[in-house]
Structure 1
Amino acid sequence: MLAQYLKHIDSNFPFLKGKRLLLACSGGVDSVTLAFLCVRSRLDITLVHCNFNLRGKESEGDELFVQNLASQLAIGYKVKSFDTKHYIEKHGGSVQMAARELRYAWFDEIIDAEGFDYVITAHHADDSLETFLINLSRGTGINGLLGIPGRNKKVIRPLLDFSRKDIIEYANTENIEWREDSSNVESKYLRNKIRNEIAPKLKELHPTFLENFKKTQAHLHQTSAVIQNYMDNLQDGLFEKDEGFFRVKIESLEKLTPLDAYLYQLFNEYGFTQWEDVKGLLKGKSGKGVHSKTHRLVKDRDYLLLSEKENKNDEVFVVPESSRYIKFPVLLKLEEAKTLEEAGKNVVFLDKEKLNYPLILRNWKKGDYFYPFGMKGKKKLSKFFKDEKVDVLTKEKQWLLCSGDDIVWVIGRRLDDRYKVEESTKNILKITFSV
């Protein structure tokens, strides 16, 4: 197996050589065997062990075993003790999910603080089969059938080409000792049930079942790559880049068949899961939206607008009379002018004596109104934005320059008529907005 492992590293993970690696080691046969293989391959590894304190003295024994293993292999060792039960009480979720979150958060901390390059884990072909079956049982698209990836950012899994049988045979041949986790024989968790009861039955169907499964997964990966290449090209044509978001024409989406599959492929990577709601946006009212943890999709007339979630800015910024340059939240230059020059959307001239200092910079809010320059009477900002065809996301970021409760300038769009320069004006204030 060592020769196969060396060849596998050379072919698929040559970038690991010369890098500082963390090896997640539980003390079980998979991670212990991986530690021996890495040392014999002259990879620079440091063992990291998580004590989740879920099995009393057995957990303590695992920790001591890994510490002794590091000493035996003459390599570095790190351990962290977690109050897993308290974490679950606070954050919810299953034991497995809590352990995963705690484990990888700690690994990220070490990488950032100490300059390690990658984390390697001992997931193998049987683990990938179990993941496939779990996702199959829950209902999934093609991505859920791809099993465990060999690389996911900083996490590398160099044993996926090997079966659990391969690993145990090598460990026994090399007289490698390991710890057995007593919870692995219990079938109360879905993964353990699949591992202990379902996978063995499947392997009885054909003597090379696992090898055939690996071939099937290889075909699925190739099919997925073809689909992804096609979708990337399609997305490039559909997603129009705007300022801080994407604009997707609904008419173009509605021409795609089957629509449900295309919507999934186009928006799945942004975390959306409520596909009926996403589809409903196509016929929904403007302003209606769907949210994922990281993004939102909003209907705006003939388009869907895709953006990252942002905290709504309710801050108010004060502009004293002495201000000459404003750098945040917008870039403004304020200066006195003796005569009127050519004005525009980004340059306005105000009657300074009409202003009530300090001025205020804020975002627009529902109910705002102003008196648009060149028009008689007031107008709600929402109606102004609609007439100007300002999309939902852009108007959310719109900044206003205010004098008291009055809107003086919808910055970059329209001056308020009440603050325009007149024949009686004695002091003119010129304000320039730099986009």
Structure 2
Amino acid sequence: MLEQFIRYYQEQQLFGPQDKLLVATSGGIDSVVLCDLCKAAGLSFAIAHCNFQLRGADSDRDEAFVKEMAAFLKVPFHSIRFDTKQYARDHKTGTQVAARELRYEWFEKIRSANGFEFILTAHHADDNIETVVMNFFRGTGINGLTGIKPVHGKIRRPLLFARRAALEHYLAAHQLAFVQDESNLHDDYTRNYFRNIVLPQIEKVYPEVRQNMLHNIDRFKDVDVLSQQEIERLQKRLVQHVENEWRLPVPLLKKTPAVKTVLLNLLKPFGFTASQLPDITRLLDSDSGKYVLSTTHRLLKDRKHLIVSDQKSIGSSVIIIEKEGEVAFSNGRLKIERAHAANLTSDERVAFVDADLVQFPLLLRPWKIGDYFYPLGMSKKKKLSRFFMDKKLSLFEKERVWVVEMNKKIIWVVGYRMDDRFKVTPHTKNVFKLSFLK
């Protein structure tokens, strides 16, 4: 295993023998083996451990174990404790996503602050297999079938060559201690479901499924390389850059094989996604003036071209509101002032909000694809695109809609509807009046 480990990180050029490395370590089998291999290979490394405080005493046990292991290996030890559940609530995300965001952000801080060249994680071949299978069922392009990359920025994954069984054999042969995360044995997380149920069931029919998947991943990588080369060739042929616009000729696009895949790859750098492909391909036969928006760009049908333009270049901007007062924007003026709850009105050009829930600065900006809010009177969130559809807004009307935002929460869809989370209630003590003045 040691020889394979050294050969793999050298062949993949993951790091050099003199590089300072930071090894992400949970205390489980994979990371324990990675630390032992780094020590046996004579690498210069430190250990970093995150206590996510999700499993009570077991989380503290894991932290203590990793600290003792670092002392035994005589390498520096870094640790941190996160209130992961609170972070997940604050950012309205799942616990697993929250833990991933927290740990990688912290790893990078430790790396840059202490002069480490790279961060090592213990992802192995079976992790790779699970990821590809999950991506396939979730929905992905060819790149999603190439699996976990050995290199991602400053992150290096030197165990991707090894199967889980080989790591367990190494652990037993070297009599290494480890801690078991009981959550890995449960099926309530998506990865655990595929690991503990889906793949074992498939193995009953195709016993070599895991090895076959690894061979497939290698083939998918080659296909992805060839695909990217062809996309680069087509990009030179199909995309014309003129000032702040990119033009794609519709007649040539219609003659291009696999046009959906080509369009997705050409437009992905501008923020367009696979879910928008039906709308994008319809533009090829639509009338001039029809368009599709990404979070940053607009794709417009103009006679015989599809034209990509930065939304900022079509009059969009973001205005920072530091305090009460009045600001001008492309549609008119927005005025924020103190008011009394007794003066409430049903005028859509005015919104009364609980001032104690508002924190400056606010953002006044054009709406974008993916925006959502909780329309006044509703307890469920609604995408603005759906809200506009229900309101039967024209393309021109939608293009002129702006929102007032605070900490990534929409307070008011200006001139249409305020967010229920900021409404005035019988318990409200202070009120802001937001007025849209055309």
TM above 0.5, yes or no, is yes
Which amino acid letter does the alignment assign opposite residue 47 of structure 2? L
Deviation per CA, 1:39-77, whole angstroms, max 9, x where unpaired?
212222221111111111111111111111111111122
* Compared CA separation, residues 291 and 158, structure 1 to 2 (3 A): farther
Q: Counterpart of 2:195? A: 195
Aligned to 1:109: 109
Aligned CA-pair RMSD: 2.9
C-alpha spacing 1:16/1:291, structure 2 compared with 1 (3 Å): farther
Please name the residue that 2:277 is paired with: 275
| Equivalent residue, structure 2, for 1:2 | 2
Equivalent pair of 2:299/2:306 in contact (CA under 8 Å): yes
SS in 2 for 1:248: strand
Q: Which residue of 2 aligns with 1:241?
A: 241
Structure number, greater radius of gyration:
1
Stretches of structure 1 lacking an aligned partner (at least 5 in a row): 316-362, 368-435
Q: Is the 8 A contact 2:12 2:150 kept in 1?
A: no
Shift of 1:132: 1.5
Question: Per-residue CA shift, 1:123-151, capped at 9, x if unaligned?
Answer: 11111111112122223222222221221
Distance 1:44 1:301, change over 3 A: farther
2:56 is aligned with 1:66:
no
| Secondary structure in 2 matching 1:246 | strand
How high is the TM-score relative to the length of structure 2?
0.67
- The two structures have a TM-score, normalised by structure 1, of 0.68
Change (3 A) 1:109 1:294: farther
Task: Count residues in correspondence.
Answer: 324
- Matching residue of 2:228: 228
Instruction: Name the counterpart of 1:168.
Output: 168
Name the residue aligned to 2:118: 118
Alignment of 1:334-373 (within 5 A): 365=330
Which amino acid is the alignment partner of residue 282 of structure 1? L
Counterpart AA for 1:19: D
Task: Quote the residue 2:80 is aligned against.
Answer: 80
CA drift of 1:254 comes to 2.4
One-letter amino acid matched to 2:248? V
| CA 1:7–1:239: 2 relative to 1, 3 Å | same
Identity %: 38
Deviation at 1:281, TM superposition (A): 3.2
* Correspondence 1:290 to 2:259: no
CA contact under 8 A between 2:14 and 2:158: conserved in structure 1? Answer: no
Q: CA separation of 1:54/1:314 partners in 2, compared to 1, >3 Å: closer, same or farther?
A: closer
Distance in structure 1 (CA, Å) of the matches to 2:77 and 2:245: 45
Q: What does 1:26-425 align with in structure 2 at a 5 Å threshold?
A: 26-206=26-206, 208-273=208-273, 274-284=276-286, 286=288, 288-307=290-309, 310=312, 312-313=316-317, 365=330
C-alpha distance in structure 1 between counterparts of 2:54 and 2:143, whole Å? 32
Give the secondary-structure state (helix, strand or coil) at the position aligned to 1:15. coil
Q: CA deviation at 1:116?
A: 2.6
* SS of 1:160 mapped into structure 2: coil
One-letter amino acid matched to 1:280: R
CA distance in 2, matches of 1:12, 1:141: 24
Deviations 1:268-323 (A, max 9, x none): 354422212222333445554433345443444543333556594477xxxxxxxx
Structure 1 residues 308 and 197: CA distance shift in structure 2, 3 A: same
Aligned partners of 1:172, 1:159: CA distance in 2, in Å? 17
Q: Quick one: structure 1 residues 290 and 40, their matched pair in 2 at CA, closer, same or farther if it must change by over 3 Å?
A: farther
Structure 2 CA distance for partners of 1:34 and 1:309, relative to 1, 3 Å: farther
Moved more, 253-262 or 76-85: 253-262
Equivalent residue letter for 1:290 = V
